[in-house]
A and B are shown apart, each in its own frame.
Chain A
Amino acid sequence: MVSYMNKDKAIRQRAVFGAGRSFSRPAGRFVLPLLAAWVLILLSFSAVFAAQPENSPQPEYVPQGAGLQPSLNQRFLAPVGPAAYQVQTVMAEPLGESLYKRELHASVEHNLSYLPFMQVVDPRAVPGGTLLGSALGEEIDFERFRISRTDNLLTARWVDEHKVEMRVYEVLEGKFIFGAGFEVPDAAAVSGVADEFCAQYMEALIGRGDFFRSMLACSKSGGPRKSDIWVVKPTGGDLRQITNIPGHAISPTWSHDGRFIVFGHIDERSHALGVWDAFTNNLQRLRFPGNTVIGPCFMPDNKVAVSLSDGRNPSIFLLDRDFKKEKTLVSSWAIDVSPSVDASGERMVYTSSRLGNPHIFMTNLKTGETVKVSNEGKYNTDPCISPDGTLVVFARQMGEGHRIFAHDLRTGQEQQISFGPGSDEQPEFAPDSYFIAFTSTRAGSKKIYLTTRHGGEAKPVNTGAGEAAFPAWGARRR
């Protein structure tokens, strides 16, 4: 799949989109009506915000990209709270002819269904239907989309069998928001094109498109005494087995450059650190003194934090880039496991039983300062800090199983974001600090689900037959 629009933007934009359309137009001009709608929606949530102190810290994160909808940006990365307004998006009938046009249309619709802030409008709700005479904004009759209360209109025009132009318009004023052209050499490229279009669309809306460019690693059961590492797109598809070795491969973690997946491996004799190299497809099994290897976590600099036995207790050690012990990060008289580090590499959260019961702690790796994060409950485990360092999610044991909670490090507020049934465990933040994958037994056996930092309805990830657990996000290699 090639995004031919991106090869030479200045020329291509004019050639493909013509009519004076330019990607470099100030994006904010196109979204004022939608922004106004956002203001109304946010006002309707005033009761929620009113409950917070007036001087509540605002999100410090400044999204990259166009920043088209600042209010949406703020809700996207806001402290924990209810899911916000949904952008009503309608997909016009694709224009032109190609063998792949139906498949691409369905693939984009499938992708958009994963965005909790997006709702794809039923075409039957649009008076006169969604078949357009043209994909160019000045030739589109937006009135019927306004009547159906649509916010955004997506168009696709197939230039020929293997080239498609895709555009997004803001309906209220008929303004062009975003567009791109893609080459689709064969059917296998369709889902990749849908992913890249949705990534760019998400970037245009909220500044982050990482979700559609990411992969999930997980541990899939291969029988009663075997599990292996697999990878899959968070939207399903491209499911692939990475390891096939006797024993249990669990707790995968992905290096930030996407090259390595490191995991814990347990066979009848020992624990070990499994290392898979995507460059060479080589697999190593590294043992450590003390025969304990639990919950590795890649640091931003490609070093690894992992619990090893120091001869007394499982403590958290730093491994260098050759996966050799470099130094102790956290050690106490008790159990210290499940490290998770933010994108700066400065803050590390982990589970510790140093106060008796397992609780979540955070250590500043620069200063050594340690604070207790979880204050409620008697059994809090599986912590994960958001890459932007604002939230910690973890599993709390409740009467009927574990539930996922989100703790806002800026306000100290805590909110339950999963509600079972069954047991919800192993929450893992996506690189965008918005999506969260977790393991749940809500459908009987262990499967992986997606939710967001705001909670809301969990969506299953299609990992095929068999149990799946230990989700871990990674960047898709190109």
Chain B
Amino acid sequence: MNKVFRGFLLTLLVSGLLALAGCGGGEQVKPQPTPGGDAGGSVITHDQAVALLKNNPIYFAFDRYDLDSAARADLQAKADLLNKYTDIKVQISGHCDSRGTDEYNLALGERRARAAYDYLLMLGVKPAQLSTHSYGKMYPAVQGNTEAAWNKNRRDEFNVGY
């Protein structure tokens, strides 16, 4: 493992643990992986990889399914983990905020899941490790009709074990 990549994984691990710590109450901390960070000697274990994949959704703009730079960086980190642990299978589930209508949101959620799926394939992840699913607006991550809630609900989740 080269120095740069180890640094990147260390940063990712710290970010992920911070995010996990934040689950108990306040807003989740969204990891911002910075490839090329400080070199370190830590190695992400299988369990840590699973936790990192599960606890870091990517987010979308209203009625959009294109990947912004933050989402692409997150997916790069996930691709690294999936390429390292090829036994891990992930179901990418697309979600929407509560403002749209049910059927259109199911389609939009499918497009969001598919966007992440296609990007991960491009980064070398095996198709057999991935599947997609859309829940539309059935399962909001955050309740409420505020911009902040909507921002957190327009997302892809990465469910491990499918």
Contact = CB atoms under 8 A, between A and B. Distances in A.
Interface of A: 225, 248, 250-251, 264, 266, 269-271, 291-292, 294-295, 307, 309, 312-314, 335-338, 351, 353, 357-358, 379, 381-382, 395, 397, 402, 425-426, 469-470
26 contacts: A225-B139, A250-B102, A269-B91, A269-B162, A271-B133, A271-B134, A291-B131, A292-B134, A294-B103, A295-B103, A312-B114, A314-B107, A314-B110, A314-B111, A335-B111, A338-B103, A381-B100, A381-B101, A382-B101, A382-B103, A395-B101, A425-B101, A425-B102, A426-B101, A469-B102, A470-B102
Nearest to A307: B107
Interface residues on B, range: 20 to 34
A309 B110 contact: yes
Nearest to B105: A381
Interface in B97-149: 99-104, 106-108, 110-111, 114, 131-135, 138-139
A246 B6 CA distance: 43
A312 to B, nearest CB: 8
B32 to A, nearest CB: 30
B63 interface: yes
Contacts of B139: 225
Nearest to A469: B102
B104 A381 contact: yes
A271 B133 CA distance: 8
Contacts, number: 74
Interface string B150-162: 0000000000001
A268 to B, nearest CB: 8
Given A295-B103, A381-B100, 15 more contacts: A266-B106, A269-B162, A271-B134, A309-B110, A314-B107, A337-B103, A337-B104, A358-B63, A381-B101, A381-B104, A382-B101, A382-B103, A425-B102, A426-B102, A469-B102
Contact of A248 (B108, B110, B138, B162): B138
Nearest to B108: A335
B133 A291 contact: yes
A251 B133 contact: no
A199 to B, nearest CB: 32
A336 B104 CA distance: 8
Nearest to A311: B114
A338 B162 contact: no
A269 B99 contact: no
Given A294-B106, A309-B110, A337-B106, A402 B133 contact: no
Contacts of A291: 131-133
A351 B102 CA distance: 12
Contacts of A294: 103, 106-107, 110
Nearest to A247: B138
A291 B110 CA distance: 9
A185 B108 CA distance: 53
Most B Cβ at <10 Å: residue of A314, A382, A470: A314
B103 A266 contact: no
Nearest to A313: B111
Most A Cβ at <10 Å: residue of B100, B101, B162: B101
Contacts of A357: 63
Nearest to A336: B107
Most A Cβ at <10 Å: residue of B107, B111, B133, B134: B107
